[in-house]
Copies of this chain bind each other. A is one copy, B any other.
Amino acid sequence: LQRQKEHEVVSEPFHFGDALVTEVRAKKSILVVGLDPQFEYMPPSLAEEMQRAFGSTTEAICRMFHAFNTEIIDAVAGVAVAVKPQIAFYERYGVWGMWAYEQTIKYAEKHGLLVIGDTKRCDGGDTAGAYANGHIGEVPFWGETPNPREPRYGPSTIRVHATTVVPYIGDNCLSRFVKLVREHGSGIFIVDKTSFVPNSSVEELDTVGGVKVWQSVASMIKHWGVGTEGALGYRSVGAVLGATKPDDAEWLRGELPDSWFLVPGYGAQGAGPKDAVLSANPDGLGCIVNSSRGITYPYMDFKNKRYVSNPNDYKTAAFRAAESARETLNNALKCADKYNF
């Protein structure tokens, strides 16, 4: 995979934390667009076309996902700083699903977008290493000879700029990812506090240290981020922080002043713009906000003429929804006196 080859803003060598700063400033946007293709939400016109061309097959479904994603990427490329394909929606279709995931990454990178692969992987030892190699590093490949004891290493076809990691297994998992953050300039967002309710979860348990588990995880994120700071001041080891209470957002920002937070749950999942930007630094940097369905599927609301009045205008709908989300988030930053990038 090319790393920003056609995209001139980001300086080499690649550093994810720096790249995000540069992109946010260049696009005046903290918006991330989630690419979570679901069969039931595909535009009927596109579905008909794909079914006609490829039959009632898994191939047709995944080619439809790819075609849909390319339209969305074209629409949002100037407005969003990154796209975030959620791998679950691809991998459940097996080989063809993985094809759509690969092609989507490639297309987004080519069109100047950072790509955050939302994989939430979690394992330890060599297995964590294999996940890290695949998603943000290099995989073993044929060397000069066919002898497997003499491999060379190269980027996998699913490599992204940054991925998400779950901390349950702890150091034995995180260390493998952080090693590659250091070697390749890639980024990771460690899942800390999610936006799901009700919260009967591990992350909300109270520990004897007087803090919740997610606060204890914040210490891990802090520890593993040391030394990943870029020239522009931000680390490549960040956190996933669901839109949450003001106190919690403030607490986490205090712990991790120079980490990027990936904030899911905006839009369709219910959080408002004010909540979504709670953790931003005074310079307006430090958090990026994801919206998936709110950007990709507003065309389904065509009967209410929200953005468009024809379901085939899904690309226009995505563009308008993304522009609107960018403005709304920037306004929320302005109200908090943080629109300073």
Contact = CB atoms under 8 A, between A and B. Distances in A.
Contacts of A149: 40, 44
A58 interface: yes
B169 A127 contact: no
Nearest to A191: B168
A285 B194 CA distance: 37
Given A134-B92, A168-B122, A202 B200 contact: no
Interface stretch (A2-10, A83-91, A328-336): A83-91
A188 to B, nearest CB: 15
A205 B209 CA distance: 9
Q: How many copies does the complex hold?
A: 2
A42 B143 CA distance: 14
A197 B133 CA distance: 21
A127 B60 CA distance: 22
A62 B118 CA distance: 24
A124 B88 CA distance: 11
A324 to B, nearest CB: 23
A23 interface: no
Contact of A39 (B36, B134, B140): B140
A61 B133 contact: no
Interface residues of A, number: 83
Nearest to A43: B148
A95 B58 CA distance: 14
A206 interface: yes
Contacts of A222: none
B92 A98 contact: no
B61 A142 contact: yes
Contacts of A60: 142
Contact of A92 (B123, B156, B200, B208): B156
A48 interface: yes
Interface of A: 36, 38-42, 44, 47-48, 51-52, 56-58, 60-61, 86, 88-89, 91-95, 97-99, 102, 118, 120-128, 130-131, 133-135, 139-142, 146-149, 151, 156-158, 166-172, 191, 194, 196-209, 213, 216-217, 220, 269
Question: Which 6 residue pairs across A and B have the least CB separation, nearest first?
Answer: A92-B134, A170-B201, A94-B157, A56-B142, A124-B196, A51-B146
Given A39-B141, A168-B191, A172-B196, 16 more contacts: A38-B126, A39-B139, A40-B149, A86-B123, A88-B130, A91-B158, A95-B98, A95-B99, A167-B168, A169-B201, A170-B202, A170-B204, A172-B194, A172-B198, A202-B213, A207-B207
